[in-house]
Amino acid sequence: MGENKQRMLAGDWYLPDDPELGADTERRSVLCAAYNAAGTTSADRAAILAQLLGSVGPDVRIRPPFQCDFGRHISIGAGTFVNFGAVFLDAAPITVGAHVQIGPNVQLLTPTHELDAARRREGWERAVPVTIGDNVWLGGGVIVCPGVTIGRDTVVGAGAVVTKDLPAGVLAVGNPARVVRTLT
């Protein structure tokens, strides 16, 4: 594994325009295109997910189109459902628990960019893991920002932008997402 990729996986600043990362991106591109192609059977999609993702539990359903950065850094637990248009940018690990419900057009984002204009122009970025607990429901259009953990049994309302960790068993809504009540 090259130094740049090691930096990326360690959460350090790295340059995404790297031949090794480019090869991983090409692999992902081919697998996502096959997954998203019209006429691909459910059995074929399950086999593609097994190749694409780092780990995938039984009875996981992801409706196409589905896009990711690498795929290898994504782990999805048993019985999880992901609706149309999901984007999982997995430059760092994305861990999705079991029995999670993910609405259409949800984005799970691990990359973040340099605030310094000169370094940003040079292309520096880093990535911070995203973790979604068991039995979470993310409504349509939710965006989960880098480094966020959402506790088990939490519900995030449609269109929310989650910029900070959410505890277990709450309802959160808005931009930025805020807890509005505890769920029983």
Residues 6+ apart with CB under 8 A from 176: 161, 162, 163, 164
CA torsion angle 172 143 82 38 (round to 10):
150
Identity (one letter) of the amino acid at 114? E
Extract the tokens encoding 79: 């019985």
Q: Of the listed 113, 128, 129, 171, which one is catalytic?
A: 113
CA torsion angle 14 16 19 23 (round to 10):
120
99: annotated active-site residue: no
Extract the tokens encoding 170: 């709450």
Q: Decide if 162 contacts 144 (C-beta within 8 A).
A: yes
Q: In whole angstroms, give the CA distance from residue 132 to residue 137.
A: 9
Q: Point out the residues that are catalytic.
A: 113
